[in-house]
């Protein structure tokens, strides 16, 4: 693992933070992307360094192409050749029905969740693909069970963005399969993270957990374990693959 470099977008909290920490414990040098909470990102980086690896933080808004270009240039300079990208950064808005959702909100969610992931993947491909002189690599996209369930009455815009991530994962996996780059995705279900507070209901997991066959919410670490498996050589014959981390829902 000495030369493995991983970039985790949205790495300052929740699933992203758990993924960055686990990657560090498995020997990756880690780049932790964040938008505004530098202190939280630095805390994740400091914990990662305790595993004996190099860890950096990179501020970038993935809804802005110029920020993405700068982020990848920083990783190139400070950590070296990228081995894995975890497209974790994403947003949702307050719970609402479609008739109460504005065009501005829809566009903001779609740009951050879809365009941002696609542009980050584009930059990773330029560095990983054997077609571009790279040594191969892995991209893991964060989808959601909302892509299958639809998010009715709460987040149909978010759910639609994750449905797009599913289609993107399949297409890019096929596009890159002969170029040494694997593309897979994880679909988390009800997971205890701060994203539910962003939607206006911090206790959402506890409200809905009885609808899950396992009768509980999941943890960020349980999702991170799936992400790191897909990123690793243990998943060397897996591309275009989805792992649902949803307690059976």
Residues annotated as part of the active site? 158
SS3 category, 48: helix
Q: Which residue has the tokens 């530098």?
A: 38
CA dihedral defined by 213, 214, 216, 222, rounded to 10 degrees?
A: -120
7 bridge partner residues: 31, 85
> Where does the chain have alpha helices with state H?
14-25, 38-49, 65-78, 103-110, 116-128, 146-149, 156-176, 195-198, 204-208, 220-231
The CA distance from 88 to 181, in Å, is 18
The CA distance from 24 to 47, in Å, is 9
Sign of the alpha-carbon dihedral angle for 158, 162, 167, 172: positive
The set of residues, in sequence order, having a beta carbon less than 8 Å from that of 78 and lying 6+ positions away, is 31, 54, 56
SS3 category, 55: strand
């Amino acid at each position: 693992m000495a030369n493995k470099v991983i970039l985790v977008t949205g790495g300052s909290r929740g699933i992203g933070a758990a993924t960055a920490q686990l990657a560090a414990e498995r020997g990756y040098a880690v780049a932790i992307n964040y938008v505004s909470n530098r202190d939280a990102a630095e805390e994740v980086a400091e914990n990662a360094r305790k595993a004996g690896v190099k860890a950096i933080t990179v501020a970038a808004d993935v809804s802005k192409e110029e920020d993405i270009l700068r982020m990848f240039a920083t990783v190139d300079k400070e950590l070296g050749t990228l081995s894995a990208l975890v497209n974790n950064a994403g947003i949702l808005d307050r719970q609402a029905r479609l008739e109460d959702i504005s065009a501005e909100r829809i566009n903001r969610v779609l740009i951050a969740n879809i365009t941002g992931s696609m542009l980050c993947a584009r930059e990773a491909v330029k560095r990983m693909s054997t077609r571009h002189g790279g040594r191969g690599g892995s991209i893991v996209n964060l989808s959601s069970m909302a892509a299958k369930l639809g998010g009715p009455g709460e987040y149909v815009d978010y759910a639609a963005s994750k449905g797009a991530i599913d289609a993107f994962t399949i297409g890019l996996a096929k596009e890159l399969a002969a170029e040494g780059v694997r593309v897979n995705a994880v679909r988390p279900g009800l997971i205890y993270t701060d994203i539910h507070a962003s939607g206006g209901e911090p206790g959402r997991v506890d409200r809905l957990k009885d609808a899950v066959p396992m009768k509980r919410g999941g943890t960020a670490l349980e999702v991170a374990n799936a992400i790191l498996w897909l990123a690793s050589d243990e998943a060397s014959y897996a591309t275009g693959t989805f792992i649902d981390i949803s307690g059976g829902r």
